[in-house]
Amino acid sequence: MEEQLVRLTSDLVAIESVNPGYPSGSRGEGAMAAFVEEYCRQLGLDVQRQPVHPGRDNVMARLTVPGARQTLLFEAHMDTVAGDSMGERAWRPEVRDGRLYGRGSCDTKGSLAAMLVALELLLARRAELNMNVALLATVDEELQFTGIRHFVDSDERVEAAVVGEPTDLRVVIAHKGCLRVRVSTLGRAAHSARPEVGVNAIDHMADVLYALRGLQKRLPEREHPLVGSPTLSVGIIEGGTGVNVVPDRCTIDIDRRTIPGEGMESALVEIEALLADVRRARPDVRLELSPPTTDDWPLDTPVDAAVVQAAQAACRALGRPDALLGVPYSTDASKLWALREVPSIVLGPGSITQAHTADEFVPVAHLSAAAELYTRTALELNERVSGRS
């Protein structure tokens, strides 16, 4: 199985599928989708495409079991970040010291390969199945999550999901969400020799930044057992046109990471309230809050969800740690959970430490372990589904 997985993962890595949102003439997920579609057809699965953007389709493959009322979804994204930092080696997969190197090897082509092999193993045990198993290969996870959003908005029904991301083969049930907003202060330009006739937008932004620091200091009081505390970071500040001009505009971009239990709405209201305080204290300050550029939900799958229990049982059966974890990064899983209440776990080969880096790799041993874990999780869930019906 290891040889098959190394070959399959290498084939996937060799297909450039950089998210076209990256500015390096990337090709998008089209060729990957064609490969996954063909591979699944060869296995004998029903395959459909879900057009998301022109030339960028999700691929959905189904192992349908007659009479089954539930569906387990395996999900992995096909896009990658840009390959620039890896140079020529990005699309030239190479196995060295027990590691398979290449862009996307751990994020998330290794997961996708392991899921394809798991489907093949499950096909061979089709007679034991009382539930359907489907594979969704999505577009655009790295930037806007429009692939999974498209699936979530469709009328497809699934009862549980395993999302492939590099978790070091650990079961992840929680992660943070993310809200990004821009705040602008608007003043009046004037000659810097006569600042009193202008209104300095940068000065006013200082009041906003001070108020935000107050919020920053309060956030550690909130804590989630698996993902820790929410955070707030101002990542970009822009303003002014010349040192001799009183600036009439200043903007900042805020990155606010939410924890399970914090609503997107409430995080936004909190920032609005703080801006209202600044306005009250300084009625001459004109402030604008732009609509969020990113609003992404946290993941908070209940520990007693059947898919969580099944994955833990699979870990134990295969002699792997079964403790449940939270991670700081975002995945497609939170959309399945927050928007459709599909209990979803994140589980996959490789480590997030290598994702997006110049040295991206997946340990070869993780690939077959992941395929075994996926297969076993499906079989454990199948027993639980059967037990209930």
DSSP category for residue 191? E
128 residue type, one letter: E
Phi and psi at residue 256, to the nearest 5°: -115, 115
Site for Zn ion in 345-364 (CB under 5 A): 355
CB of 108 to Zn ion, least distance (A): 7
75 binds Zn ion (CB under 5 A): no
CA torsion sign for 308, 313, 317, 322 is: positive
Task: Report the candidate in 46, 16, 10, 14 with the shortest Cα–Cα distance to residue 119.
Answer: 46
**Could you tell me how many residues of this chain bind Zn ion (CB under 5 A)?**
2
CB of 303 to Zn ion, least distance (A): 26
Based on CB atoms, which residue is closest to Zn ion, 107 or 168?
107
Based on CB atoms, which residue is closest to Zn ion, 63 or 114?
114
CB-closest chain residue to Zn ion: 107
CB of 359 to Zn ion, least distance (A): 15
Report the alpha-carbon angle 312-315-321, nearest 5.
95
Based on CB atoms, which residue is closest to Zn ion, 89 or 320?
89
Based on CB atoms, which residue is closest to Zn ion, 158 or 355?
355
User: CA 89, CA 102: separation in Å to the nearest integer?
Assistant: 6
Based on CB atoms, which residue is closest to Zn ion, 250 or 355?
355
CB of 134 to Zn ion, least distance (A): 22
DSSP category for residue 369? H
Based on CB atoms, which residue is closest to Zn ion, 292 or 348?
348
User: CA 326, CA 167: separation in Å to the nearest integer?
Assistant: 10
CB of 301 to Zn ion, least distance (A): 20
CB of 251 to Zn ion, least distance (A): 27
CB of 100 to Zn ion, least distance (A): 17
Among 107, 120, 140, 159, binds Zn ion (CB under 5 A): 107
Q: How far apart are the first and last CA of the chain?
A: 33
Please check whether residue 149 is in contact with residue 72, taking contact to mean a CB–CB distance below 8 angstroms: no
Element (H, E) at 118: helix 110-124
Site for Zn ion in 141-170 (CB under 5 A): none
User: CA 364, CA 301: separation in Å to the nearest integer?
Assistant: 29
Based on CB atoms, which residue is closest to Zn ion, 324 or 346?
346
Residues forming the site for Zn ion (CB under 5 A) = 107, 355
